[in-house]
């Protein structure tokens, strides 16, 4: 897990990466994002800008007094606003635990990469905090359903989702596991991860909070 003082760098990386991707392809505004099919690329970017403005208003001693027309702004205007607000909100991340904002930005960076046909990042400073938050959410869903816990193994490290002694271990490529936890993989794809036991009893727990696994694949597994 990164420290709170490193979350600003991790968020800045996601913001920078998305900005570079979209500035290089200005004609993709209306493209549907497969992982969030109700949103276009422009809609997803507007969401990220709105979240940044909301968090800044909540954490800053001098909240934003202006308004911004995110519902009608184009990609260039949205990027300009995010680059204006980002340097104001990022220093606040050093003293506030806002992993939900970080996880959201990183997850949507991956969504945009998929929509634009760009390569997955091999490494990213947001990965650990985002994964920690997703494992916690899965763990609460597992516990709420009265299921035994699951051990998650990635890159020689372990996380526990749920309470008590784990009844299964799941592993796979780090992005396959992450995207499964973030509601981007179908139940069949989740079951196709490397499980030490029959995964069927745990599959419903992958639907929790804002995450709803698609019924049809929106992306192919990375595999190891």
Where residue 127 falls among pLDDT bands split at 50, 70, 90? very high
* Of the candidate ranges 57-71, 117-131, 161-175, 200-214, the one whose mean pLDDT is the lowest: 57-71
Task: State mean pLDDT over 136-145.
Answer: 98
Is 162 inside a domain boundary? yes
Is residue 138 located within the same domain as residue 201?
yes
What pTM did the predictor assign? 0.94
| Average of per-residue pLDDT values in the chain | 94
Q: Which domain holds residue 176?
A: 127-206
d(CA 80, CA 176): 32
| Final residue in a domain of this structure, among 58, 81, 116 | 116
Cα–chain-centroid distance for residue 178? 8
The DSSP bridge pattern shows strands 36-40 and 32-33 to be antiparallel
Q: What local confidence, expressed as pLDDT, does residue 223 receive?
A: 77
Does the pLDDT value for residue 52 go beyond 80?
Answer: yes
d(CA 40, CA 104): 16
How many separate domains does the chain show? 2
Is 169 inside a domain boundary? yes
Cα–chain-centroid distance for residue 142? 20
Q: What local confidence, expressed as pLDDT, does residue 152 receive?
A: 98
Secondary structure E strands in 24-162: 32-33, 36-40, 150-154, 157-161
Is 213 inside a domain boundary? no
What is the domain-level CATH number for residue 159?
3.30.1050
What proportion of the chain, given as a percentage, has pLDDT over 70? 97
Is 220 inside a domain boundary? no
Is residue 137 located within the same domain as residue 109?
no
Does the pLDDT value for residue 80 go beyond 80?
Answer: yes
Per the DSSP assignment, residues forming a β-bridge with 211 are 208
């Amino acid at each position: 897990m990164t420290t709170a003082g490193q979350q600003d760098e991790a968020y800045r990386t996601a913001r920078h990466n998305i900005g570079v991707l979209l500035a290089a392809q200005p004609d993709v505004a209306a493209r549907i994002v497969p992982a969030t099919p109700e949103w276009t690329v422009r809609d997803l970017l507007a969401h990220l800008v709105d979240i940044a403005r909301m968090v800044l208003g909540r954490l800053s001693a001098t909240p934003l007094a202006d308004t911004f027309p995110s519902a009608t702004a184009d990609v260039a205007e949205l990027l300009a606003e995010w680059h204006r607000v980002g340097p104001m909100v990022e220093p606040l991340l050093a003293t506030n635990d806002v992993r939900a904002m970080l996880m959201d930005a990183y997850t949507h960076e991956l969504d945009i990469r998929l929509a634009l046909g760009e390569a997955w990042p091999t490494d990213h400073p947001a990965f650990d905090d985002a994964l920690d938050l997703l494992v916690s959410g899965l763990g609460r869903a597992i516990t709420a359903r009265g299921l035994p816990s699951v051990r998650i193994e990635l890159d020689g490290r372990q996380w526990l989702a749920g309470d008590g002694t784990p009844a299964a271990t799941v592993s796979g490529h780090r992005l396959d596991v992450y995207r499964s936890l973030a509601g981007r993989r179908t139940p069949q794809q989740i079951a196709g991860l490397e499980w030490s036991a029959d995964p069927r009893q745990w599959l419903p727990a992958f639907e929790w909070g804002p995450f709803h696994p698609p019924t049809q694949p929106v992306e192919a597994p990375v595999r190891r």
